[in-house]
Amino acid sequence: MKKVLSLLMVISILMIALVSCANGASVPLFKIENANKVDSLLKGDVVAYSEKIVFNNTSNYQMFYYYERSSTTSSYNIYESLGEVKHYLYEGNVYSESNEDLCFILTSDFSLTYQLSVLKYLNAMFPLDLGQRYQRTAKNNDDGTTTVVYYSTVTPQMASDILMVELKPDDTILSEYTLDAQLRVISVKYSIEQNSGEVVEVATREFEYFTNKLNYFDNLPKEMNVSVTLNINGRDYSFDAPNGVYLGLEDNGSKHEYFIDATYTEKYDFIAFGKLQNDVTVYVKK
């Protein structure tokens, strides 16, 4: 009798596996993650891609990102739009823009401003992708795409960390991926399955892939014709910068202070200082 039961169990498992394969089979999440790394996406004919994010809240808040290979470094050019605020990481330089006022950025890691900024974008994780995710369904579509749904259970920590969406512990996050034949993401729809059984769509991400670079960086300065010197403990570090833009200095939590005089009496304020026109020295107090 035990042998018969064991045989029936094996047959049942095989039947379930065959049905799963017929509906699209398993698509391991790590394969999707590997296929959608920037290095994997920007190869062959694809030289750039974009990502648009929309949160389905009262304001329908939108975020937009654009990535392309750098022409002068071994890294990437990245454009980010967050409402009225825009950030540019372009050919080794970093800019921020608000209300059409452009700001050239240096950080406390002065020589690494661009590289560290790129790494922050590449290592960032979309908030609703947090947690342990498992596949719920998968199917192959007639147009050659594949739809896969993953789910994760909201923990108290996730509920407090994810601010763009209202979450409660034990809610379920559903992530519905639409993938092309190369497992590149075409779109992701995020929904919250509440304990009551109600399912609410909360966000979408849409991706586009391009064979030509787009013009998101055309408004940036073409020449670096001003010298910015940062005096740190009596030692000068000089950098090329464009004129006609503001100079932004960020300390990345290092608690540096910036002054326009060697006696550290008048603090540097980029608005009061105005746009760069001539060479300038800023004194950094650690």
What is the rounded average pLDDT of the residues 197-217? Answer: 96
Residue 206 falls inside a structural domain: yes
Phi then psi dihedrals of residue 3, to 5 deg: -65, -40
> Distance of CA 211 to CAs 122, 128, 249, Å?
21, 30, 36
pTM: 0.86
State pLDDT tens for residues 152-205.
999 999 999 888 888 999 999 999 999 999 999 999 999 999 988 899 999 999
- 170 and 258 part of one domain: no
Binning pLDDT at 50, 70 and 90, where does residue 110 land? low
Total number of domains constituting the chain: 2
Residue 7 falls inside a structural domain: no
- 177 and 264 part of one domain: no
Interior CA angle at 112 toward 108 and 114, to 5°?
105
Lowest mean pLDDT among 12-26, 41-55, 86-100, 171-185: 12-26
Range of the domain at 244: 226-285
Q: What is the pLDDT of residue 5?
A: 40
Q: Residue 82 pLDDT > 90, yes or no?
A: yes
What is 29-57 written as a DSSP string? HHHHHHHTSHHHHSSTT--EEEEEEEE-S
The amino acid that residue 214 corresponds to is L
- Give the residue among 273, 219, 4 at the shortest CA–CA distance from 90: 219
Interior CA angle at 36 toward 134 and 129, to 5°?
40
Binning pLDDT at 50, 70 and 90, where does residue 60 land? confident
Residue 2 falls inside a structural domain: no
- Residue 35 in tokens: 């296929």
- 196 and 235 part of one domain: no
- 199 and 232 part of one domain: no
Q: What is the mean pLDDT of the chain?
A: 88
What is the rounded average pLDDT of the residues 124-146? Answer: 94
